[in-house]
Every structure is written in structure tokens, then in C-alpha cells.
């Protein structure tokens, strides 16, 4: 039987959402979840979460001051789970809060928050960074933009989810802006790391040794080391699909152009991810940029 009056609910229990479920259950928090994937449903049940069969049913299980975490892929899915035919918003009550974790355009975050406000539902703009392992152990980053009173209301939960909480401002949308800036640099760094690994290979260098040097020298980047270690070992099992940074870099470039800025690298990185997608690497980890650049280089 589905639990009533859970203080936290999660829609979307993929790599990041599922890791948050496990983290919260380990720390003793009752959690109710909703996901359309039967495999993800079973994983959540195995972690000890309760299961709702629709977003509105999940909302009915949320306590009066509870927090609903939206952890889906994009803005369209976020709108659907909140305001669609079985959306959670219609079943939520004044005093409850939605926390938006997907990487989406700032204007989409603002639109979703504006749809919640007339219902008396608060909104925390809270993009995540760090990957599933860090979400699982509570060390991921959260970029928080919301009224300070709302952040204080949910401080205990936020502390469990993240040891790296950055309060950006009290303006919803600034979390999304910060995440796009971060992810554009992550995309640029990853394209650069894959490029130099292919170059090292063409120069006859040992790739693990070359990466050892880079990691202790001026070329080091976290995402470059993390992804290229896996790529060199031939491990392209998706932790973060190519499509995610493809989306994020595209949104970041769009935001830059809307602000009147056109940098030399962002659009090139976004193009690289789009071409890797077109080359058939969509189902692989974004470390597969190494494969794409090997193919592209002839």
C-alpha cells in the first residue's frame, strides 16, 4: 500500500533520481516515487521507496509541507509531469514545494515556477552536478536559486542530498543559468580531452601514461580524466548519455546568444556533440566522443 504523508517525493528515478532515492532511504527518509520505467520502479522498491503510478497520485502522498523533486530529462517532461493530464501540480496543496533538478533553459524554469505560484506552491531551482556516484553518497553539487525562507524550510533534506550546496540567488532561473555555464565548460573540456587523446594516439604515445601526465599538469580537468579513463579502457556504458551534454551545450549557446555573447568555443563544442549523436553514438556514454574523433580523424 502506498505510504501517505511522505515528506519527499521524486518523479524520475533514472541515474540521478535513483541515486537520490537510495541516498535518502539509507539516511532514513521515507520516499514515494513515480517513474514509467518498470526497471527503475523495481530499483526504487528494492531501495525501500513507496511507488505511485502517476504524478498526481504521488502528489496526494506528499505531506502538507513536503517537497516534490522533479528529476526528469528536459523541460517538456518537466511540464508534462507537473501540468499534464495526470500532472502533480493540480493535486498539490498550498505550502508544498517543487524542486526542479533537470538542466533546462532559464526561461523554462521561470515558466514552470510561474505556473506553480498561483497555487501557493513554492519552487526551488536546483540543477545538479557530479554524476550518480556523488548523488548516491550525498556529495553532488546543487545550484540553488529560491527565496531564502524556502531553502531554510527544506534545509535538512538539502543537506542530506548534497554536501556542496551553492546558493546562487533568490531568483528562480539563476540556478539554471549557472548550470548552463558550468555544463558548457564541461562540454568544452570533454571535447578537448577527447581531441588530445586521439592526437596522443596518432603521435604513438601510450594513452594511460599521457593521461597520467595531464592529470598532474596544466591540462587537467575532472570530466576529461573521468571520461577518458573509461574511454581508454573501452568502457562506454552510459552513465551520462551523449544526448545530455548535446542538450546542455545547445541550451548554453542559445542562452549566450540571447545575452548578446558569441564565444569561440561553446558553439564548436555543441556542434561536436550534435555530430557524435548523428554518427550513431547516441546510446553511449559521452566518453564516446573519443570514438567519434577517432572516426572523424580518418
Of the candidates 119, 87, 82, the residue with the CA atom closest to the CA atom of residue 100 = 82
What's CA 275's distance to the chain center, in Å? 22
Q: How far apart are CA 279 and CA 45, in angstroms?
A: 37
CB 144 within 8 A of CB 174: no
Q: How far apart are the C-alpha atoms of 83 and 86, rounded to whole Å?
A: 7
Active-site annotation, residues:
179
How far apart CA 210 and CA 223 sit, in angstroms, is: 16
Amino acid at each position: 500500500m502506498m505510504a501517505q504523508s511522505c515528506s519527499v517525493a521524486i518523479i524520475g528515478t533514472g541515474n540521478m533520481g535513483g541515486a537520490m532515492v537510495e541516498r535518502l532511504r539509507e539516511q532514513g527518509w521515507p520516499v514515494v516515487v513515480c517513474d514509467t520505467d518498470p526497471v527503475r520502479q523495481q530499483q526504487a522498491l528494492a531501495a525501500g521507496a513507496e511507488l505511485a503510478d502517476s504524478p498526481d497520485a504521488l502528489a496526494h502522498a506528499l505531506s502538507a509541507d513536503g517537497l516534490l523533486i522533479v528529476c526528469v530529462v528536459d523541460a517538456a517532461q518537466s511540464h508534462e509531469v507537473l501540468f499534464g493530464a495526470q500532472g502533480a501540480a493540480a493535486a498539490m496543496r498550498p505550502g508544498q514545494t517543487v524542486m526542479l533538478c533537470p538542466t533546462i533553459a532559464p526561461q523554462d524554469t521561470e515558466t514552470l515556477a510561474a505556473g506553480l505560484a498561483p497555487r501557493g506552491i513554492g519552487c526551488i531551482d536546483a540543477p545538479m552536478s557530479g554524476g550518480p556516484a556523488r548523488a548516491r553518497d550525498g556529495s553532488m553539487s546543487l545550484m540553488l536559486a529560491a527565496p531564502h525562507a524556502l531553502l531554510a524550510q527544506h534545509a535538512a533534506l538539502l543537506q542530506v542530498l548534497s554536501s556542496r550546496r551553492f546558493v546562487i540567488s533568490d531568483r528562480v532561473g539563476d540556478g539554471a543559468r549557472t548550470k548552463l555555464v558550468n555544463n558548457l565548460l564541461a562540454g568544452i573540456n570533454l571535447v578537448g580531452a577527447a581531441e588530445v587523446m586521439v592526437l596522443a594516439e596518432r603521435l604513438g604515445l601510450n594513452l594511460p601514461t599521457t593521461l597520467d601526465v595531464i592529470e598532474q599538469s596544466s591540462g587537467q580537468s575532472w570530466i576529461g580524466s573521468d571520461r577518458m579513463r573509461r574511454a581508454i579502457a573501452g568502457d562506454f556504458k552510459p552513465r551520462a548519455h551523449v544526448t545530455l551534454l548535446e542538450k546542455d551545450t545547445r541550451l548554453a549557446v542559445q542562452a549566450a546568444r540571447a545575452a548578446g555573447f558569441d564565444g569561440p568555443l561553446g558553439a564548436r563544442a555543441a556542434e561536436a556533440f550534435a555530430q557524435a549523436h548523428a554518427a550513431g553514438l547516441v546510446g553511449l556514454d559521452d566518453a564516446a566522443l573519443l570514438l567519434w574523433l577517432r572516426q572523424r580523424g580518418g
